[in-house]
Amino acid sequence: MKLCFVGTGYVGLVSGVCFADIGYEVICVDRDKEKIRRLRNGINPIYEPGLDELIQKNTNANRLTFSDNLHVSIKKSDIIFLAVGTPTSKDGNSADLSQLFSVVKQIQKIKKHKIIVTKSTVPVGTNDKIDKILNTKSKTFSIVSNPEFLREGEAIKDFKFPDRIVIGSKSKSVSEIMRKLYRPLINKGASFLSCSLKSAELIKYASNAFLATKISFINELANLCEKVSVNVEDVAIGIGLDKRIGPRFLRAGPAYGGSCFPKDTKALITTARKYVSPLSIVSAVVKFNDERKKYIENKIIKLLGSNLKKKTICFLGVTFKANTDDTRDSSAMKMIPRFASLGIRVNYYDPSGEKNFFKKKNIFFFNNLYSATENIDLIVIHTEWDEFKNLDFKKILKKNRKINIYDLRNLYDTNYFKNKKISYYSIGRP
Ligand code: NAD
């Protein structure tokens, strides 16, 4: 069985490489010729722990190849996975499906039977549209919806040990082919759910909306905890021990970000509006999350005090989470430019490197953590990278008389800083 992954981004590349690693022959295709050239030379375009090694191993074993020729790659393959981006449209709310439908247009030119699997996150009814476009005269293509649930930073583990594999299809036999394809993962304990195309599409959006709700719920409770001197972590543990609630996604922090939750919650609300069935809870979550960025921004400005133009903040981490280089919809993308526009100098350090987006006035990248923290007024721990969990404060204080730390990830015990020249603030803790 030959597989083709169209779109070698965070999802397409990881899934393609991992399928190769479980023994399939895989072609990863992208329209970005430079990306493909680099991949062919063994250069991984994204930061994802463990991925470099798997690319090398499977390329050497001749199971994994890279191409910028969509037509030829599709022709050679039996199952075509669509893993292109579905970002937010210019309207700021709905999903932009132009990348997806441009690939579908190319597939139309193929005359032989293929299984077309949509891995990209797409609104309810999209796979029916693909079916209509591709199967006008004869039934040449079998359409499958197979949403992806991997998390950046833990993508390989998530691919190899998923909680569930969701397959939406109109055909029992095609669903069985997909079950066979995923058998190595099912044998290791993944649940397999076969359902309709539309159910699979909605399961993905509903999952992300639910997780975003959980995060916003604990973030809002953290605000209350700060007012009533309660530790939000005790509350999170206390409620998370209830099996009906569960402990995960209950860590208070900054607004949620990343390439999925913000865009998918908005796209789901747009779909619901279209069908005149508003989702008031998800709408409240989106509103709260947007306001949270401002809330934290204002707290940072308050911590800096007067004379903002003479102040320097150091951001530790700018990606939306640790172990990824992805900054899409990260809180830092909103906050840092705002501070810079107020005349505040912003130093930043991120283990995944400099970001082009921040090549702006008053924003300075450092490739050394301790250089970034020299002569500053405030450290904002924005991302929970491991190297921020055990900072050398003696070293930091050598270059600063006194510092404030605003730890948006609660990486340190609040008692740790007593009797030090450090004022420590965190999220939802007295
Ligand atoms: P991405 O932007 O990182 O990658 C998309 C890739 O598709 C790019 O490399 C782009 O060049 C390529 N592409 C676009 N049009 C193409 C075309 N016509 N032919 C060939 N290649 C083309 O996107 P991503 O983060 O991997 O997300 C892909 C999809 O998976 C989205 O729908 C997303 O919502 C969903 N998803 C993402 C994650 C995640 O953590 N990133 C998790 C689950 C689901």
Q: Does residue 45's CB lie within 6 angstroms of at least one atom of ligand 1?
A: no
In a domain, 315, yes or no: yes
Closest CA to 143 of 118, 173, 124, 121: 118
Q: Are residues 272 and 295 in the same domain?
A: no
Predicted confidence at residue 396, as pLDDT, reads: 95
Domain co-membership, 16 together with 80: yes
225 is catalytic: no
Q: What is the CA radius of gyration of the chain?
A: 23
pLDDT for the residue numbered 418? 77
- Dump pLDDT digits (tens) for 29-39: 999 999 999 99
pTM: 0.96
Asked if residue 103 has its Cβ within 6 Å of ligand 1, the reply is yes
pLDDT of residue 420: 73
- Best probe residue, ligand 1, of 148, 158, 268 (max atoms within 8 Å of C-beta): 148
CA-CA distance, 329 to 409, in Å (whole number)? 17
> What one-letter code names the amino acid at 320?
F
**Do 123 and 165 fall within a single domain?**
yes
- The predicted-structure confidence for 297-314, as pLDDT tens digits, reads as follows 999 999 999 999 999 999
Protein residue with its CA nearest to atom 18 in ligand 1: 103
Q: What strands lie across the sheet with 363-365, from one edge to the other?
A: 363-365, 345-349, 312-316, 378-381, 403-407, 422-426
Q: At residue 284, does pLDDT exceed 80? A: yes
Identify the domain containing residue 258 by its residue range: 205-287
Same domain, 254 and 176: no
* pLDDT tens readout for residues 87-111: 999 999 999 999 999 999 999 999 8
Q: What is the pLDDT of residues 248-269, one digit of tens each?
A: 999 999 999 999 999 999 999 9
Q: Which of 84, 120, 208 to mutate to test the pocket of ligand 1 (most atoms within 8 A of CB)?
A: 84
Marked catalytic residue, from 4, 18, 260, 314: 260
Q: Are 26 and 4 in contact (CB under 8 A)?
A: yes
Q: Is the pLDDT of residue 134 over 70?
A: yes
Domain annotation covers residue 183: yes
Tokens for 145?
């919806």
- What is the tally of structural domains in the chain? 3
Looking at the structure, tell me whether residues 171 and 46 fall in a common domain: yes
Per-residue model confidence (pLDDT) at position 316: 98
Contact indicator for 423, 404 with CB cutoff of 8 Å: yes
Q: Verify whether ligand 1 is closer than 6 Å to residue 7 (CB atom).
A: yes
Pick from 195, 225, 250: which residue ends a domain?
A: 195
Would residue 25 count as lying in a domain?
yes
Please write the tens of the pLDDT for every residue from 361-403. Answer: 999 999 999 999 999 999 999 999 999 999 999 999 999 989 9
Residue 221, token pair as written in the block: 């409770």
Q: How many CB atoms lie within 10 A of CB 254?
A: 23
Residues 365 and 415 in one domain: yes
The pLDDT of residue 419 is 66
